[in-house]
């Protein structure tokens, strides 16, 4: 029995050695896994550090964006004021345009009146030109007639000539 027991113990020891060997393999695998986990944890820590830096950078960017938004809000407020001023100016311009339209309407009426007056004056001017033309013709006719009439010198000459003829006739009657 002792041999059997010894065999059993040896077999058991072999089994235990096989189990230990398996356990050593598994422990070795676990060590490899732990080593991999450690490198992954290290990598995760690096990534977390990068993420912390990114978050810090994002916070800085967010602060800058808040400043930019604040600046934009101020600019928007100024733009609203400018738009209000423009609207007021536009309202004044509309009033001015309205006044200009009224003035233009009055000017159009005045122009119509001036056109009517000008038309009447042109008619009168045409009539005056026509009458002037007729008077000019009559003047030329009268001047032509006057040119045919005897002048003062001619009348003096005729008076003298007639006087001489009368004397000659008187002298001839006396002689006869």
Count the domains in the chain: 1
pLDDT at 63: 94
Buried b (16+ CB within 10 A) or exposed e, 35-72: eeeeeeeeeeeeeeeeeeeeeeeeeeeeeeeeeeeeee
Has residue 169 been placed in a domain?
Answer: no
Has residue 173 been placed in a domain?
Answer: no
Has residue 174 been placed in a domain?
Answer: no
Return left, alpha or beta for 54; rule: phi > 0 is left, psi -120 to 50 is alpha, else beta.
alpha
pLDDT at 100: 94
Using the 8-state DSSP alphabet, how is residue 149 labeled? S
Q: Where are the beta strands (DSSP E) in 37-108?
A: none
The 3-state DSSP composition of the chain as helix, strand, coil percent (nearest 5) reads 95, 0, 5
Has residue 175 been placed in a domain?
Answer: no
Q: What is the mean pLDDT of each run of 10 residues along the chain (176 residues)?
A: 79 83 88 88 91 93 94 95 95 94 94 94 92 88 78 84 89 86
Has residue 13 been placed in a domain?
Answer: yes
pLDDT at 1: 64
Domain extent, residue 129, equals 2-164
pLDDT at 90: 95
Has residue 141 been placed in a domain?
Answer: yes
Q: What is the reported pTM?
A: 0.40
Question: Dihedral of the CA atoms 151, 152, 155, 160 (nearest 10)?
Answer: -140
pLDDT at 85: 95
């Amino acid at each position: 029995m002792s041999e059997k027991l010894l065999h059993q113990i040896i077999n058991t020891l072999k089994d235990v050695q096989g189990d230990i060997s398996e356990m050593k393999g598994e422990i070795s695998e676990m060590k490899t896994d732990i080593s991999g986990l450690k490198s992954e944890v290290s990598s995760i820590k690096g990534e977390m550090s990068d993420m912390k830096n990114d978050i810090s950078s994002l916070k800085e960017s967010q602060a800058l964006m808040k400043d930019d938004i604040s600046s934009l809000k101020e600019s928007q407020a100024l733009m609203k004021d400018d738009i209000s001023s423009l609207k007021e100016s536009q309202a004044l311009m509309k009033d001015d345009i309205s006044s200009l339209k009224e003035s233009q309407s009055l000017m159009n009426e005045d122009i119509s009146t001036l056109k009517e007056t000008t038309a009447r004056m042109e008619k009168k001017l045409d009539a005056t030109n026509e009458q002037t033309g007729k008077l000019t013709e009559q003047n030329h006719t009268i001047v032509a007639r006057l040119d045919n009439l005897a002048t003062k010198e001619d009348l003096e000459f005729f008076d003298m000539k007639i006087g001489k003829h009368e004397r000659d006739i008187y002298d001839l009657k006396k002689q006869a």
